[in-house]
A and B are shown apart, each in its own frame.
Chain A
Amino acid sequence: MGPELALGFPAAGAVLAAALRRRPALALLCGGLLGVAGALALGLLWLPPAQTSFLGLGLPAAPRALLIFSALALTLVVALAPAGADRVGLLAAGLAGSAGLVAVAAAPDVLAVAVVIALLAAGHAALPGGRPFAVRMRGPGLAVALVLAGVLLQHGGDAPAFARLSALALVLALVAAAGLVPFLPELDPEEPAPASPVAWTGFFGPALAIAMVARIQPTVGPDGAPVYGALLVGLGVLNLAWGTLGAWLAEGDVAAWRYSFLADWGLALVGLGIVVPDGYAAAYLVLASVLLVRFPLYLWARPVLVGRAAGAMGPANVLLAAALAGAAPFAGFSIRLLLLRAATTVYWPLALVLGLGMLVWLAHSLRLARTLGAPRGRAAVGVVLALGFSLLLGVAPALMLALGGL
Chain B
Amino acid sequence: MPWEDLGAHLLALLIYPGGLAALALGLAAEIGAAWALVPERGGLAEAARGTLRALRLQPMNLAPLAAWAWVLALAAASQLAAPFNRVPPAERNSLVAAAALLGATWLAWSWGWGRRAASPPLVLAVQACWLLAVLLPSLGPGNLRPQALGAVVLGGQVPLKLACGVLYLACLPALLMLLPESAPQGPPGAVARPRTPEEAGFGVLRVLLWMPACGLFTSLFFPSADDALGLLRFLVVTAGAAAVAIAVAANLTRRPAGVTRLLYLRLALPFAGFSVLVAALTVVFIH
Contacts and interface: CB of A to CB of B under 8 A. Distances in A.
Interface stretch (A102-110, A272-280, A301-309): A102-110
Contacts of A148: 277, 281
B196 to A, nearest CB: 31
Interface residues of A, number: 32
A152 interface: yes
B93 interface: no
A56 B250 CA distance: 33
Contacts of A111: 156, 159, 278, 281-282, 285
Contact of B243 (A15, A116, A118): A15
A333 B166 CA distance: 43
Interface stretch (B7-15, B59-67, B81-89, B266-274): B266-274
A20 B36 contact: yes
Nearest to A12: B240
Interface in B133-189: 153-156, 158-159, 162-163, 166
A15 B159 contact: no
B45 interface: no
Interface in B12-58: 36, 39-40
B125 to A, nearest CB: 16
B281 A18 contact: no
B15 to A, nearest CB: 29
Contact of A19 (B155, B246, B274, B285): B246
B247 interface: yes
Nearest to B243: A15
Contacts of B243: 12, 15-16, 19
B90 interface: no
A378 interface: no
A359 interface: no
A56 B264 CA distance: 32
A96 to B, nearest CB: 10
B282 A16 contact: no
Contacts of B282: 111
Given A21-B250, A55-B153, A118 B271 contact: yes
A133 interface: yes
Interface string B184-198: 000000000000000
B244 interface: yes
Interface in A145-173: 148, 151-152, 155
Contact of A126 (B263, B278, B284): B263
A366 B39 CA distance: 48
Given A19-B250, A118-B274, A151-B281, A112 B158 contact: yes
Contact of B156 (A19, A103, A109): A109
B247 A16 contact: yes
Contacts of A152: 281
Contacts of A144: 274
Contact of B284 (A55, A56, A122, A155): A155
A22 B39 contact: yes
A177 to B, nearest CB: 15
Interface in A3-29: 12, 15-16, 18-23
Contacts of B267: 122, 126, 133
Contacts of A126: 263, 267
A402 interface: no
A251 B202 CA distance: 59
Contacts of B266: 133-134
Contacts of B247: 15-16, 18-19
B43 to A, nearest CB: 10
A119 interface: yes
Contacts of A119: 162-163, 166
A128 B267 CA distance: 14
A155 B285 contact: yes
Nearest to A8: B240
A152 B156 CA distance: 14
Interface in B248-265: 248, 250-251, 254-255, 263
A249 B127 CA distance: 52
A115 interface: yes
Nearest to B268: A122
Contact of B153 (A15, A18, A56, A112): A56
A23 B39 contact: yes
Contacts of B163: 115, 118-119
B250 A18 contact: yes
A118 B158 CA distance: 15
A151 B278 CA distance: 11
Interface in A107-142: 107-109, 111-112, 114-116, 118-119, 122, 126, 128, 133-134
B159 A109 contact: yes
A355 B127 CA distance: 58
Contacts of B162: 103, 107, 112, 115-116, 119
Contact of B278 (A23, A115, A128): A115
A21 B248 CA distance: 11
A12 B282 CA distance: 29
A115 to B, nearest CB: 5
Interface in A55-70: 55-56
Given A15-B247, A118-B274, A119-B166, A112 B159 contact: yes
Given A118-B271, A118-B274, A119-B162, 16 more contacts: A12-B240, A15-B240, A15-B243, A21-B250, A107-B158, A111-B156, A111-B281, A111-B282, A114-B278, A115-B162, A116-B162, A128-B255, A133-B266, A151-B281, A151-B285, A155-B284
Interface of B: 36, 39-40, 153-156, 158-159, 162-163, 166, 240, 243-244, 246-248, 250-251, 254-255, 263, 266-267, 271, 274, 277-278, 281-282, 284-285
**Closest 7 pairs (CB-CB, A-B):** A19-B247, A112-B159, A15-B247, A111-B159, A22-B39, A56-B154, A18-B247
20 contacts: A12-B243, A19-B246, A19-B247, A19-B250, A19-B251, A20-B36, A21-B254, A22-B39, A56-B154, A107-B158, A109-B156, A112-B158, A114-B159, A115-B278, A118-B163, A118-B274, A119-B163, A133-B266, A144-B274, A155-B285
